[in-house]
């Protein structure tokens, strides 16, 4: 009887395995692209216009770039932005009743009225000081779409939706390519790239989705390096150029360009330093020609002062550890949830069990990496590479906190204000460099182990898709 049961179960397992092989994609990147496309589509369709942080100001910057305005314009000491077509919506006009009111639903009459607005040739001043200082590179795809839409008589809101679609497609393509190329931390990058916050930012007019995709791709290129493949001069110049784009878009990422210095695969130290040198040059160039001409003091009159805060930090260095402790104690758990996904104007939470599921998924990725490192010395990242990667990431995280302390927090305040979890998303992919290398022959594409991993990933991505879609549908519609 036991032998019969064993035979039946073995046969059933073989049939199930054969069925899974025929249904599931064999590549994690293909699996990601399938589910990410559905998640991005849900975000495009279910998130109303203006319902991601600073959506209107990002779209204003996109419009400015589409008209050739590479550098923002300062209009007095406290206002920065540019001259945009009259009728361009102000932030309160983009379904303002929804912001910070989770119980509110979309007013279809207001949405129809917004859809009736069209581009005009008349210009008027528009203020968007927090985005006018951003470099144009990662806005370029959206700006090109806006340029085409404006010259094909599309309405303003129709143009905004087109921008959402293009940004979402570009983000998931960059992430999918990064997952396909990665030789370290592939499953970690997959989970990271499927987070609701990533999908929400991708399907908006913000540059953050495209920026995150570029960070995933850059990190995956670094994971391909080894003593046997240290990278050519052309490779390092290309990586340096991408790091420069990341840095001028988000300056704290300059510190992530230090990671190649710790890999040590190439004896040509000057080549390994190319990403940092190119990033620093790009940062200084944009600082002089793009940021300084358009930068204004944020929160003027509320005790915030860039120079005053820097002076306070220099004169009170012993207060910094306490400042860091109080900030993490106050904000850490909420920052983690925002990193995973608090959508809308940070007013749309996922179910609590979903956050725990993501914690578990990340923990499993770390455990799988630790198991590989313990099992095979050859798979481990070098000690110098691991330490410098972790140090660069921590410095970049600290730079985010410091920048918000300077530009958004009253002088000498005991806790840093204005930090949001999404600010750390472009930094997170570089942790993959510290993971052990994937063993090329340990999990063949059609082995039981590989199929088990694919089933688990498919289950997680299915849950991700369902939770994201139902949360957004319930929240707005």
In this model, does residue 337 exceed pLDDT 50?
Answer: yes
Q: What does pLDDT average to over the chain?
A: 89
Question: Which DSSP string do the residues of 122-146 spell out, in sequence order?
Answer: -EEEEE-TTTTTS-SGGGHHHHHHH
What is the C-alpha to C-alpha distance for residues 70 and 86, in angstroms, rounded to an integer?
Answer: 20
Checking DSSP bridges between strand 348-349 and strand 123-127, what pairing results, if any? unpaired
Q: With beta carbons less than 8 A apart as the criterion, state whether 243 and 277 touch.
A: no
What is the C-alpha to C-alpha distance for residues 198 and 333, in angstroms, rounded to an integer?
Answer: 18
List, for residues 170-218, the tens digit of each pLDDT value: 999 999 999 999 999 999 999 999 999 999 999 999 999 999 999 999 9
List, for residues 271-328, the tens digit of each pLDDT value: 888 999 999 999 999 999 999 999 998 888 788 999 999 999 999 999 999 999 999 9
Check residue 7 and give its pLDDT.
46
At 61, list the tokens: 């910057």
For 182-273, where are the alpha helices, taking DSSP H only? Answer: 186-193, 196-202, 208-223, 233-249, 259-263, 269-272
In this model, does residue 164 exceed pLDDT 70?
Answer: yes
């Amino acid at each position: 009887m036991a032998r019969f049961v064993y035979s039946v179960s073995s046969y059933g397992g073989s049939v199930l395995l054969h069925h899974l092989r025929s249904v599931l994609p064999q590549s994690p990147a293909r699996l990601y692209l399938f589910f990410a496309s559905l998640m991005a589509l849900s975000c495009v369709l279910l998130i109303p216009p203006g319902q991601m942080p600073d959506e209107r100001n990002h779209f204003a910057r996109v419009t400015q770039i589409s008209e050739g305005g590479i550098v923002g314009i300062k209009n007095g000491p406290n206002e920065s932005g540019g001259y945009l077509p009259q009728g361009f919506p102000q932030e309160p006009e983009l379904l303002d009743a929804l912001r910070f009111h989770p119980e509110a639903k979309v007013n279809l009459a207001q949405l129809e009225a917004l859809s009736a607005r069209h581009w005009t040739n008349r210009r008027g001043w528009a203020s968007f000081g927090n985005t006018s200082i951003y470099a144009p590179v990662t806005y370029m795809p959206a700006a090109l779409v806006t340029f085409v839409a404006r010259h094909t008589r599309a309405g303003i809101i129709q143009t905004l939706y087109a921008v959402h679609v293009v940004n979402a497609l570009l983000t998931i393509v960059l992430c999918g390519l990064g997952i396909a190329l990665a030789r370290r931390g592939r499953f970690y990058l997959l989970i990271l790239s499927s987070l609701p916050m990533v999908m929400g930012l991708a399907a908006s007019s913000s540059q953050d989705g495209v920026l995150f995709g570029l960070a995933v791709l850059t990190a995956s290129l670094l994971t391909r390096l080894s003593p046997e493949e240290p990278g050519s001069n052309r490779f390092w110049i290309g990586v340096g150029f991408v790091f420069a784009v990341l840095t001028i878009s988000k300056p704290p990422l300059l510190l992530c360009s230090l990671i190649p210095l710790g890999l040590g695969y190439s004896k040509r130290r000057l080549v390994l330093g190319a990403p940092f040198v190119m990033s620093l040059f790009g940062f200084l160039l944009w600082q002089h020609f793009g940021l300084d001409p358009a930068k204004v003091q944020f929160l003027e009159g509320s005790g915030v002062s860039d120079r005053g805060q820097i002076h306070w930090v220099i004169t009170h260095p012993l207060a910094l550890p306490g400042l860091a402790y109080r900030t993490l104690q106050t904000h850490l758990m909420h920052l983690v949830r925002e990193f995973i996904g608090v959508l809308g104007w940070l007013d749309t939470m996922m179910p609590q069990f979903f956050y725990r599921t993501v914690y578990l998924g990340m923990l499993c990725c770390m455990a799988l990496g630790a198991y590989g490192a313990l099992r095979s010395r050859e798979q481990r990242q070098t000690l110098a590479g691991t330490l410098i990667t972790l140090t660069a990431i921590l410095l970049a995280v600290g730079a985010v906190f410091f920048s918000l302390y300077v530009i958004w927090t009253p002088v000498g305040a005991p806790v840093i204000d204005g930090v949001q979890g999404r600010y750390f998303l472009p930094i997170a992919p570089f942790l993959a460099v510290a993971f052990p290398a994937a063993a090329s022959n340990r999990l063949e594409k059609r082995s039981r182990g590989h199929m088990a991993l694919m089933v688990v990933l498919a289950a997680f991505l299915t849950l991700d898709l369902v939770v994201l879609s139902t949360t957004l549908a319930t929240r707005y519609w």
